[in-house]
Structure 1
């Protein structure tokens, strides 16, 4: 590429440009350097002033040569031209000097101007750099302020705002700051800041978990109290409406009629559980895409807290506080489950519930393993029922809890039965077997509210004047009172348990049947064996009769008392047998005083003296017994049967070796007396006891043994006669005849012997 041609300047151009130069503007107070700028720029293009001057001088010399040539040709003109040229030369010289001076001035001014321009440019560059630096510093300060505010927000618990601030920093539009090492360092520190926010919100949640653990017991207690109010309200309503008595709190009927009052166990005047720390933590972890980590951590923490709830071993006295804490724990879990979406697993909560309640029942079972007081079981049951109903309201499955209560109930029932066995034993042991007396209507009504008696007897006693002597003794009243208490405590244990109601009724029926038959009836039977007072035995009979009525009344609502009914009937029979036994024992005393002559020479026309005393005693004793007429009839019948048996034993027993017909006749006189007396007191039906004695003696006195040997006559006329006894009587008569000295008596005795043998041959296998 050829070198660039330097521009050529003619004199005219130079003059023209020089004339245009005005270093000083008379109108301006400052130098006019702007006009000089272009010329200086042209003159100093290559920064060599000398080259430029040589060019100008060469041009002038060229002009001089040309002028001389022209002058030679045109002398005159030349002279004039020379003159002109000298003038020009002088001017040029002056111009050169002026230019030189100007060049020096221009150079001097140019250097200052350049320095000023350079300084100005440098100042502008520096100012621009300063502005940029200030802008960057301000941007940095704003970012640093945001970072600093992040720390303050973390301390103030504004975790979400802090996280949003970090997101704002990261999402800033590209600026000059974005490429700086400072900003890159700041961006690299954002994960650490996020970690600080995460750690802070995690610590806040950990503290919240500790706080709710400490407050869970109070939450559960308030929930228990709210359920207790609801139970009492429903109980009052059940008492007013008989149709609702079989329903319980939580049943469909109760839910329909429940006037729900909003009570939040987590937010009330006594306690407030703030779930904000958990919600905030979930929000932060979700934003950090770490929710699974939080979920696992929360699950592990709550599992650990549930493990710490149950003490080992468990004291029943601490059961109330323990159940409060468990209730509060799961009430909080229910709220978390319902308000955090999918954060909490319903299955995990159910597994926690099943595990914790399973361990709870095991601990309670172990704590009650050696317990002998049923009241402790009752206390545990009341707490467990309240716990189950409370947790049912929060939709927890309590089937296993109710099943455990029923298991406790079986043990409770066994202990309760033992407790009441002792109570019945004490009542019967302290009973004086005398009729109970009430002096006022209030006392009478109080007794009637307790005892079970028939409607007719109740009405009869209500019509009787006060003070009133009741048919039963104190033991019957106290036993009825204890039975009421037993039934009440029995059902009280399963109150609120809707499952297996039939099994409960059956278990109660068996328990009552055992108590009534074993601990009342058999206890009375044992006392009979040691009681010798007929009035006391008669009172026992009356009590037993009323116990029978009580069984019938109770069985209307609680079936299964068949054994008790049978036991009381059996004990009544034993009582009557005991009465008969005591009477016969006394009759024996009378018979020991009988002093019969079994071979008298003559017959008596009046009964034996001892019979008067015997019969008077018998009627006095039996008529004084406060028992039913049918029982008195049985007692009379037993006594008469015994008298007949004793008289028959005189005639046919082995104690009397021989007897004559006069003695038989005297016995019949005594029998006639007894029959007349019995008929006189309205007990004529008892005389049937003497049928065998009369038939047996009539055969010997009427001498009709041969007729007796005839089967048809024996079956129709002598069915009551026992062959062996007739044979024994004939033997005794034969012995008496054989002992006589007169022939007629001896012959008659021999006849009796043959008749005895004949009767014995006909019936060899019969017993007396």
Structure 2
């Protein structure tokens, strides 16, 4: 029963209240919570006894209440007790069962614990196995990547191998650092890197070898491209003359040609492909490995060695196709093009100074090889081909921004050699032409032949083409047009050497002038002058005619050379010494003709057989005078026919003058002591015949040559010879008679008259004294 509560107005202490609260607590926790403060406050035995008393009082009250309840509900209580007993029996049974079950569970728990321990142990093993498997997987992945690196190397994937090695070193090896395999692979990384570097260098060396082998073909393609540019520039020049002012590789030419794209390094038409991938890969790998500087140094050394392999020890320049020289220049060009392309495709990989040094070295070696072999070349056509290949090489390399100035001196050497060979060949040609000529007027059979001769020769015909009839003859012999052809060929072939890259045009002009002058003077003019020793007057006349035309040709040549000058800076006229040489040779030929004609005249006059003491007069001319007039007539109509009129008249004038002098010398001969009147008449008959012949020529100037002879013979026949000593009479009748000769002849005529009339010697002496006094 519940504890009694204090009555109204009754004092209530805290112990009692605490005891009541404890009794009504619903749980142990609440009971403890109520009990703890009371116990903490109990400090004396009385308060504890008071608490116990309060608790006992409450307990007694509760028992009283239970007893009261039980008394009023006994039957129900008994029933409840029975039920509790039954429950107790069930509880006991259940307890037994629970104990049995507990025992069974206890045994099962032991088994389970054993199994759990086994499970725990197996899990530890499984965990170890799993960790081992993971470690093995990580190690296998490392080994796979290591094998992959070598597999990529075997398949030439060098950069992929390097990437795989880098991934292996920086990622996967970090996962297995606690294993021995990581240390082993880590130690092998430098060796593998070295293998990759060596492998990529092997591929690069293979690429370099192929590039070196392909250098010649690359140069050949570059030359072909330059020739195509030349053709296009020539076509543009033909269409518009303004392009003639711009050379190949000039800015204008490059702009005009930019539409015609031609990639030399990658061209399907020429089947040429130069792939720089191996170089790029090698560069990247060495940069990745931190060996970029060393690689650049090694690459430069390799290219220097390859440059040396391009240079042969000797060069054959005598083959007509120029294969040796072409191979050398094409190889140098291909090598240099690859170098320039490498500079353009990479960044600071090839130093410009290294490339230029290689280029200068190759140029110097090539120039040395060509110069050393130049003495073997003895054909100007081969030399011109050599110069053509060198010029093509220079133009090609200039388009790749290489300096070709070192070849200028070589071109000058080639030109000097070329001009010497050309001069030697044309010297032989001129000599052959001069020596094989027939020295006869050149016959022409038809108009085509005539036109060809006029076209190649410096010849201005006197007649129009419409007035010509064939067959005909030209005044000069065949050697003249042949020499003119050679002169034109010499000019053309000298100027063939001139092009965009031979800037020494003044050298060409001067060499052409001096060489042509030398050829004309020594091989033509001098050869013709040497032939003037011939005794055949017709040949001498033809030589004179040829010299006349050669002089005209030289004058024309001077104008032609002035107009064709390569150098625009040259000024002044062009003068050939050959012009004066031919003019002098012409005078020599004229003198030689005079000599031959006069010699013939002398020979004829020497046959004169005058009997200066004869008493017989002949009305017939002497035989020598007939032959003389016949000879003079024949040389006019045949031998001198081809000469210019002024020369022909001069020769004829000199011949008549010499004839008159020679005839006059006959009676003046010291061996002739006296001349009879009959001999004087015979001489007068011959002189009269000669005068009649000269009159038939209808040239008053020629008649003047006989004035002295005619007047002298007239004086010898004069009835009054004293008139000769009268100045007024002498100037009127005998003005052309030499005073001394006239006096001597008069003395001889007087002596002859005296001998004939058998006069006294005294009178002859007196006359002689008187004559000498007057003549003095």
Contact 2:675/2:749 (CA < 8 Å) preserved in 1? Answer: yes
Deviations 1:125-145 (CA, angstroms, capped at 9, x unpaired): 222222222223222222322
8 A contact 1:584–1:642 mirrored in 2? yes
Q: Is the 8 A contact 2:145 2:164 kept in 1?
A: yes
Quote the Cα distance in structure 1 between the aligned partners of 2:235 and 2:472.
Answer: 37
Moved more, 289-298 or 713-722: 713-722
- For the pair 1:568 / 2:582, whether they are aligned, the reply is yes
Tell me which residue corresponds to 2:506.
502
- The counterpart of 2:554, out of the listed 548, 551, 554, is 551
Match of 2:476 in 1: 472
Whole-angstrom CA distance in 1 between matches of 2:192 and 2:307: 34
2:216 counterpart of 1:217: yes
Give yes or no for contact 1:512–1:561 (8 Å, CA) kept in 2: no
Corresponding residue number in structure 1 for 2:642? 626
What are the Cα deviations for residues 315-369 of structure 1, in whole angstroms up to 9, with x where unaligned? 1232222222222221222211211121112222222222212121221222121
> Which residue pairs with 1:292 in the alignment?
293
| Alignment correspondent of 1:88 | none
**1:209, CA displacement in angstroms?**
0.9
Cα separation, partners in 2 of 1:611 and 1:593, compared to 1, 3 Å = same
Give the alignment of 1:459-538 within 5 angstroms.
Answer: 460-461=464-465, 463-534=467-538, 536-538=539-541
Displacement, 1:308? 1.7
Q: How far apart in 2 are the matches of 1:305 and 1:513? A: 50
Q: Equivalents in 2 of 1:588, 1:174: separation in Å? A: 128
For 1:171, the equivalent position in structure 2 comes to: 170
Deviations 1:431-481 (A, max 9, x none): 122333343443333333322223x65x72465234443333221222122
The partner residue of 2:333 within 323, 327, 333 is: 327
Verify the 8 A CA contact 1:427 1:479 in the aligned structure 2: yes
Map 1:182-201 onto structure 2 (within 5 A): 182-201=181-200
Q: CA deviation at 1:257?
A: 4.2
Q: Return 5+ residue gaps in structure 2 as ranges.
A: 1-96, 563-573
Cα deviation 1:126-168 (Å, max 9, x = unaligned): 2222222222322222232222222222222222222222222
From the superposition, tell whether residues 99 and 258 of structure 1 become closer, same or farther in structure 2 (CA, over 3 Å): closer
Q: Check the 8 A contact 1:374/1:412 in 2, yes or no.
A: yes
Corresponding residue of 2:599: 585
User: 2: CA distance between counterparts of 1:201 and 1:433?
Assistant: 81
Q: How far does the alpha carbon of each residue in 1:734-764 deviate from its partner, in whole angstroms, 9 at most, with x for none?
A: 98799774343332222344456x4xxxxxx
Residue aligned with 2:267, SS = coil
Cα offset, 1:576, TM superposition? 2.1
Query: In structure 1, how many angstroms separate the alpha carbons of the residues matched to 2:511 and 2:686?
Result: 59
Aligned position for 1:645: 661
Q: Is the CA contact 2:724–2:730 (under 8 Å) kept in the aligned structure 1?
A: no
Query: Which residue number corresponds to residue 703 of structure 2?
Result: 687
Contact 2:394 2:501 in 1 (8 A): no
**Residue 496 of structure 2: SS of its match in structure 1?**
helix
**Among residues 766, 769, 772, which one is paired with 1:750 in the alignment?**
769
Distance 1:528 1:139 in 2: 113
> 1:141 matched to which residue of 2?
140
Q: 1:495 to 1:435 in 2, by over 3 A?
A: farther
1:418 is matched with which residue? 424
- Displacement of 1:114 in angstroms is 5.2
Aligned residue in 2 for 1:435: 441
Q: Would you say how many aligned residue pairs link Structure 1 and Structure 2?
A: 655
Separation in 1, partners of 2:735, 2:347: 99
CA–CA distance in 1 between the matches of 2:551 and 2:177? 104
Which residue does the alignment assign to 1:596? Answer: 610
Q: Give the counterpart of 2:409 among 389, 403, 407.
A: 403
Q: 1:501 to 1:126 in 2, by over 3 A?
A: same
281-290 or 571-580, which deviates more: 571-580
Structure 2 contact 423–515 (Cα < 8 Å) conserved: yes
Inter-partner Cα distance in structure 2 for 1:169 and 1:669: 139
Alignment of 1:656-735 (within 5 A): 656=672, 670-671=686-687, 673-690=689-706, 703=722
Deviation, 1:383, is: 1.9
Residue 349 (structure 2) pairs with residue 343 (structure 1): yes
Residue 343 of structure 2 contacts residue 350 of structure 2 at CA under 8 Å; is this kept in 1?
A: yes
Q: Per-residue deviation at 1:292?
A: 1.9
2:684·2:714 contact (CA, 8 Å) conserved in 1? no
Q: 1:388 aligns with which of 371, 383, 394?
A: 394
Q: In 1, Cα distance between the equivalents of 2:735 and 2:198?
A: 113
1:311 aligns to what SS in structure 2?
coil
CA deviation after TM superposition for structure 1 residue 583, in Å? 1.6
Partner Cα distance (2:595, 2:220) in 1: 66
SS in structure 1 opposite 2:536?
coil
Q: Deviations over 1:708-735 (max 9, x none)?
A: 7x9xx99999997777767866886798
Q: Is the 8 A contact 2:433 2:483 kept in 1?
A: yes
**Structure 1 spans left out of the alignment, 5+ residues:** 1-97, 759-768
- Give the whole-Å Cα distance in 2 for the aligned partners of 1:247 and 1:590: 73
1:671 deviates by 4.8
Shift of 1:200: 0.7
| 2:596 equivalent to 1:611 | no
Q: CA RMSD in A?
A: 3.8
